[in-house]
Amino acid sequence: MIRLEGVHKAFGDTHAALAGVDLEIGRGEVFGIIGRSGAGKSTLVRLLNGLERPSSGRVLIDGTDVATLSADGLRALRSRVGMIFQNFGLLWSRTVFDNVALPLRIGGASRAEIAAKVPALLERVGLSEHGAKYPAQLSGGQKQRVGIARALATNPEILLCDEATSALDPETTRNILDLLADLNRELGLTIVLITHEMEVVRQVCDRVVVLHAGRAVETGDVADVFLHPRASETQALIAEADEHVDPIGFDGPVVRLTLHGKAVLDPVLTRIARDTGTDFIILDGRIGRLKNTSFGRLTLGLVGGDTERAIAALRLEGEVE
């Protein structure tokens, strides 16, 4: 549905925001673009609705090169591509209702259409009672819901999220991401989400690209990229999210165990401990969720018993490093 071919984007003569990116995003996918500030994420997402044009390379939406579109063609494309923003991008001088109605008015919808559609959109994002309020009277999460309702007004096929949860607290972030996941499921909406937070990618994305200095350093399924990061930039991003602390004072054998799927819910450690006589000390660990599956990642200290056999048994359950 979305394809980038050798996309370069330079601002001025010197600074290249994107230095040759190839990417393919499928219909109905939740696709994450992760990277630090300045990695080129914002530029990349703005190429997809023509807010920015590539210096070279092609951006194809359903096979159409965005750069070749006329002004009218670009406007038509933009009604198929919704966008939400970190700072919401709402009209602060207009009510919630008028904000959501704006894309419809721009598209030339009749009064009756607007009167029918806006309340339905507000209900979908849980803001039915707030239509008459001004955005400044809402909480951050509610403001982003207004942004989402507004982005959905033209029935887009693609939703671009530009750091949409970065201004929100963790709980609100989870709620907004749940809403996005629901919309993805119910409407088959393709979502392209840029963020600098691994947690966001982990919670909702199917696939992810890691962007560093304008290049895609790693692309793949979230579970693969997250559990087996190859690029050092990816490893650094994950390490930050997990806040590893190395405990001091243990000098026996140490293994890192990664489990996913059903193995997370099996009493793996206690069973192996019984079988092999080896006890486990949990030095570091995390059990969590990757969109639709569970994962566990533990750093274990091994004490006594047959440690060789214990490690071999662990290998049968998950990956051991």
Partner 1 sequence: MSGFFSNVDWSEILQACLDTLAMLGGSLLLTVLLGLPLGVLLFLTGKGQPWENRWGNGALALLVNLVRSMPFIILLIVMIPLTIVLVGTSLGVAGAIPPLVVGAAPFFARLVETALREVDRNTVEAVQAMGATTRDLVFRALLPEALPGILAATTVTAITLISFTAMAGAVGAGGLGDLAIRFGYQRFQTDVMLVTVVLLLALVQLLQVAGDRLVRHFTRK
Residues forming beta bridges with residue 136, ordered by sequence position? none
* Candidate list 32, 40, 131, 135; residue touching partner 1; CB under 8 A: 135
Instruction: Express the helix, strand and coil content of the chain in percent, nearest 5 each.
Output: 40, 30, 30
Minimum separation from the CB atom of position 48 to partner 1 (A): 10
Residue number, 166 or 294, with CB nearest to partner 1: 166
Residue number, 51 or 227, with CB nearest to partner 1: 51
* Candidate list 150, 207, 212, 297; residue touching partner 1; CB under 8 A: 150
Give residue for tokens 């006589």.
277
Q: How far apart are the first and last CA of the chain?
A: 38
88 binds partner 1 (CB under 8 A): yes
* Candidate list 106, 115, 239, 312; residue touching partner 1; CB under 8 A: 106
Instruction: Enumerate residues 6+ apart whose C-beta is below 8 A from 272.
Output: 278, 280, 310, 313, 314, 317
283 binds partner 1 (CB under 8 A): no
Binding to partner 1 (CB under 8 A) within 11-50 occurs at 49
Task: State the Cα–Cα distance between residues 31 and 26, nearest whole angstrom.
Answer: 9
Q: Helical H runs in 48-89?
A: 71-80
What is the separation of C-alpha 60 from the centre of its chain, rounded to a whole number of angstroms? 21
Binding to partner 1 (CB under 8 A) within 45-74 occurs at 49, 51, 74
Residue number, 161 or 268, with CB nearest to partner 1: 161
| Residues engaged in binding partner 1 (CB under 8 A) | 49, 51, 74-79, 81-83, 85-94, 102-103, 105-107, 134-136, 147, 150, 154, 160
